[in-house]
Structure 1
Amino acid sequence: MRFLKYIAIVGLSLGLHSCESYLDVGVPKDEVAAGLAFSDDKAATASVTGVYSRMNQLNYQFANVLSMVLPAMEADEFAYAAQYAAYDEFKANAVLPSNQFLATLWSEPYQYIAQANMCIEGLEKATSLSPEVKSQLIGEAKFLRAFCYFYLVNNFGGVPLVLNTNVDENNFKNRSPEAEVYTAIIEDLKDAKSKLLDGYPNGVAVNANGQRIRPNKGAATALLARAYLYTKKWDLAEIEATEVITNPLYKLMPTADMNNVFLKNSDEAIWQIQAVNVSGGRNTWEGFLIVPANIVTGTPLFRLIPNHLYNAFEAGDQRHENWVGMITTAAGVTHKYPYKYKVRFGVTPTVEYTMVLRLGEQYLIRAEARYNQKKYNLAQDDINDIRERSGLTALSLGNADAAVREAIEQERRVELFAEWGHRWYDLRRWPSVSGEADKTRADDILPALKPTWKSSAIYLPIPSDAAAFNPNL
């Protein structure tokens, strides 16, 4: 495998093959020649939006099921019911550098980064684009680059920071420290936020409900809030999350509509990835993989772990009633499985898109940011907004630091399960409640579930092919 050289060579051509449904204008059916990629608004738009189609075209990709099931198995959410070595390594937190899925978690984000770099450089040099389109597309490319680096740094720790198309320079780059990667993520998101539209670039105006499949200013703001939270910039995380929460384009679904949260164009959606491979009435790859063929008598292969997420929901929590599937076998054993996406196949037209960023997370980002600034009552307000939407009673914890912290962890656990690794990234970023230096929340929780747990498992190894090609890794 050519770690970056191969990616850089093919990246642009891969990015230029786009699906028409991402655009209001017709896009070329064939790949656009690199020299024409930024010659006019239509070609430039196709060059950038092609990456979204590639992100969700096939199953078992970084941008769909792998970023759902692998970190969930690394944490304490659910596990695969059969033996499968590639999954078992993640379940045991003993991933080998040769793992096929590990290679995908590494290589695909770098492919999209290479495409984004080429688009940024091409767009900045372009002279025949309308200013509005040029600004929006640069913002989208920088958002995508930041998005990919966010997952690379949270999976692998320090990674090579590739911000241009210089192949010779990039092929043998050293790993940059995590702090440096986060600095680049935040700078990209700040710049993207300044360039992206308030509404959605496919003709959707603020306050109108429509396709949310290309990033807008709200998407950049939401991911920036998360990046500030992860880097402990509590005041800035609160500011950015508040901006999203008060944006009239987004609203929490009421309790009666909990099953509508993950539908395409949901009011809670900030950014979704459109279903582009819908053969046989398939909607999302997540639903196709997780939902049993028969939800009455079938056997789910991905099952919530007993004594962990299986039992984590309070009585009356509508998230459990609406987002957890249950099947009881003839022997009387009840299996639970993630059921946020309802469609396995056979549903046309498409009703579900892959949810990437949504409003519920922003309330919990702000709650955690406020808690860390000792704004206990305000943090509880955010927690209670999520709880009351879920059919639960409000909490009244006063200034009890530990109780508020525990409430934030609980709400993040049951609100964001089976979504983009939130639980796993929380366990690895939060310090141990023991106060022991260099220990994380993962060290508190996972040893009881995983007898071979090691603290170093919060990082994945570099894939063997990448390390063999670039000895500096």
Structure 2
Amino acid sequence: MKKYLIILLAIYAIACNKLIDVGDPENSENGKTVFSHDTSAMSAVTGIYARIMASFPSLLNGGLTICAGLSADEIQPTSSSNSMQEYYINSISTTSNFNRLYLWYYGYTLIYQANACIEGISNSTALSEVISNQLLGECYFLRSLTYFQMIQLFGDVPLVISTNYEENAGLKRTPTIKILSQIKEDLLKATELLTDNYPGNNRIRVNKWAAKALLAKLYLYGGDWADAESASGQVINAGTYRLEKDLNRVFLYDSKEAILQFMPYENGYNTTEGAQFVPSPNGTSLPQYSLTEYLLSAFETGDKRAANWIGRKTVNGVVYTFPYKYKLRINFGPTYAVTEYVMVLRLGEQYLIRAEARAHLNDLAGSIIDLDSIRNRAGLPLIAQTNPGIDVNSLFKILQKERQTELFAEWGARWFDLKREKTVTSVLVSRKQSWKDTDTLYPVPDVELKLNPKLTQNPGYN
């Protein structure tokens, strides 16, 4: 982790001028100087967003969608030579470059960068209160988001909340329950520091409702149903967001459903998902990944999501289906334009969170209302009309199916749901030839174990 400080200072220098043009910080060699001005401090924090989007696919930029989608039962490689095959067969090498560089290492790079900004802002007396609160809130959120994904993949990981690299380099793995407590603490701070308004144009930086939406997700995963219902309800009732009636507008840069999006950073790219999933128009080019029959069979007849969010390409008489929520692939030509942003949090998921929480709280009528909001947009029969007296177990089955079909190929939602519901083995043992119970966690990279003898490996890996 000694090299992270060098990385951070380098990013200060380049900042994130494509997100928000605030200029370079003065004298980026001196961390104190970076946080002595509102503009340079803002540049340092927006640099975290730039770092998230600067490499693809990576933890918070499409990588999670791909690797977790493969690990579950959503997508599969169309070629056995695909380097991500090991995620599909749930046999990830401890020396996997993707696992080490783009999941583990990338996650800790973002965490360190957030920590440096939190320390710099907290210790500064030169920043205006409004800017200081906004930037601190963003950093707490971004650190929480990163840790939330890390523990889903690796389980216990070292909890790093400072820039003391000498101490950090020898940290043991922290119990997940303690990391969850830190995430909750950070998000509660963020909701207090942030305002309803988005800083800058569009919804590409964090506001209070983004922090509240992630908090709702945290509560859901922890089985804290009352708080999950409350937090998601506050987001839904904020009046800022609405479900897009047109499914093809959901993932656009100006989507009214978006609570938080990440803006593309590299010319020629809209989103990593579009670049990875949408095949070349060349007649013989296969998509890199196709949807599994297990996912396709989950869609009801007439589901508009199947028509609008699933792409199809026929090659040599074989029809390949692929995720098509994002429509644009790589384009280095003169027609390139940014019209799709990476969707991080959206209103549709908040309805599903509240629906599940309400069902657990025995508010079946309220749960049905939320589910029907999603089903209505998908063009499906409403539960309130077809089965108003549905029992709770049947309602949970519909909830699981709706999450599967609404949130497929988004941030590993299916993989995480199978694990939190403790159904991952019962579902995948018949769908994956070599499935083992220990496949629910990814391996700690071998190089990290060598660098830090206090780290231990997850069960099932040599």
Could you say which TM-score interval applies, normalised by the shorter chain?
Answer: over 0.9
Q: Which residue of 2 aligns with 1:433?
A: none
Q: Which residue of 2 aligns with 1:334?
A: 319
1:416 aligned to which of 400, 407, 417: 407
Q: Which residue of 2 aligns with 1:437?
A: none
The root-mean-square deviation of aligned C-alpha atoms, in Å, is 1.8
How far apart are the structure 1 equivalents of 2:401 and 2:12? 40
Q: Which residue of 1 aligns with 2:355?
A: 367
1:106 aligned to which of 104, 108, 113: 104
Equivalent AA in structure 2 for residue 217 of structure 1: K
Equivalent residue runs for 1:145-160 within 5 Å: 145-160=143-158
1:142 aligned to which of 140, 143, 148: 140
Does 1:270 find its partner at 2:270?
no
Q: In 2, are the aligned partners of 1:258 and 1:319 still within 8 Å (CA)?
A: yes
How far apart are the structure 2 equivalents of 1:214 and 1:322? 28
Deviation at 1:11, TM superposition (A): 3.0
Q: Which residue of 1 aligns with 2:439?
A: 457
How far apart are the structure 2 equivalents of 1:302 and 1:85? 9
Higher mean alpha-carbon deviation, 102-111 vs 292-301, is at: 292-301
Alignment gaps of 5+ in structure 2? 456-462
Deviation at 1:30, TM superposition (A): 9.1
So what's the TM-score if we normalise by structure 1? Answer: 0.91
1:382 aligned to which of 370, 374, 391: 370
How far apart are the structure 2 equivalents of 1:274 and 1:259? 18
Q: Which residue of 1 aligns with 2:458?
A: none
Equivalent AA in structure 1 for residue 357 of structure 2: A
Deviation at 1:403, TM superposition (A): 0.7
Equivalent residue runs for 1:237-316 within 5 Å: 237-254=228-245, 257-279=246-268, 282-294=269-281, 298-306=285-293, 308-316=294-302
Does 1:11 find its partner at 2:8?
yes
Higher mean alpha-carbon deviation, 396-405 vs 143-152, is at: 396-405
How far apart are the structure 2 equivalents of 1:57 and 1:113? 15
Distance 1:227 1:115, change over 3 A: same
Equivalent AA in structure 2 for residue 6 of structure 1: K
2:194 aligned to which of 185, 193, 196: 196
Deviation at 1:455, TM superposition (A): 1.1
Equivalent AA in structure 2 for residue 394 of structure 1: L
Deviation at 1:376, TM superposition (A): 1.6
2:86 aligned to which of 69, 89, 93: 89
Q: Which residue of 1 aligns with 2:63?
A: 66
How far apart are the structure 2 equivalents of 1:235 and 1:313? 30
Q: In 2, are the aligned partners of 1:8 and 1:111 still within 8 Å (CA)?
A: no
How far apart are the structure 1 equivalents of 2:131 and 2:375? 40
Deviation at 1:35, TM superposition (A): 3.1
Q: In 1, are the aligned partners of 2:26 and 2:33 still within 8 Å (CA)?
A: no
How far apart are the structure 2 equivalents of 1:9 and 1:404? 52
Q: Which residue of 2 aligns with 1:172?
A: 170
Q: What do the CA deviations read for 1:7-28 (whole angstroms, capped 9, x no partner)?
A: 3453343355322232254445
Identity %: 39
Q: What do the CA deviations read for 1:379-404 (whole angstroms, capped 9, x no partner)?
A: 11111110001111111253512211
Query: For 1:122, what is the secondary structure of its paired residue?
Result: helix
Equivalent AA in structure 1 for residue 287 of structure 2: P
Q: Give the number of equivalent residue pairs.
A: 448
Equivalent AA in structure 2 for residue 258 of structure 1: L
How far apart are the structure 1 equivalents of 2:316 and 2:81? 25
How far apart are the structure 2 equivalents of 1:244 and 1:452? 41
So what's the TM-score if we normalise by structure 2? Answer: 0.93
Query: For 2:371, what is the secondary structure of its paired residue?
Result: helix
1:406 aligned to which of 388, 397, 403: 397
Q: In 2, are the aligned partners of 1:290 and 1:338 still within 8 Å (CA)?
A: yes
1:38 aligned to which of 31, 35, 45: 35
1:214 aligned to which of 188, 205, 215: 205
Distance 1:32 1:406, change over 3 A: farther
Query: For 2:84, what is the secondary structure of its paired residue?
Result: helix
Shift >6 Å, 4+ stretches: none
How far apart are the structure 1 equivalents of 2:160 and 2:266? 30
Q: Which residue of 2 aligns with 1:345?
A: 330
Q: What do the CA deviations read for 1:436-468 (whole angstroms, capped 9, x no partner)?
A: xxxx21112111111211111111110111111
Higher mean alpha-carbon deviation, 60-69 vs 183-192, is at: 60-69
Alignment gaps of 5+ in structure 1? 203-209, 431-439
Distance 1:29 1:419, change over 3 A: farther
Distance 1:84 1:65, change over 3 A: farther
Q: Which residue of 1 aligns with 2:183?
A: 185
Deviation at 1:151, TM superposition (A): 0.6
Distance 1:33 1:411, change over 3 A: same
Q: In 1, are the aligned partners of 2:303 and 2:379 still within 8 Å (CA)?
A: yes
How far apart are the structure 1 equivalents of 2:81 and 2:219? 37
Does 1:442 find its partner at 2:424?
yes
How far apart are the structure 2 equivalents of 1:443 and 1:349? 43
2:215 aligned to which of 206, 212, 224: 224
How far apart are the structure 1 equivalents of 2:39 and 2:45? 10
Distance 1:441 1:133, change over 3 A: same
Q: In 2, are the aligned partners of 1:323 and 1:338 still within 8 Å (CA)?
A: yes
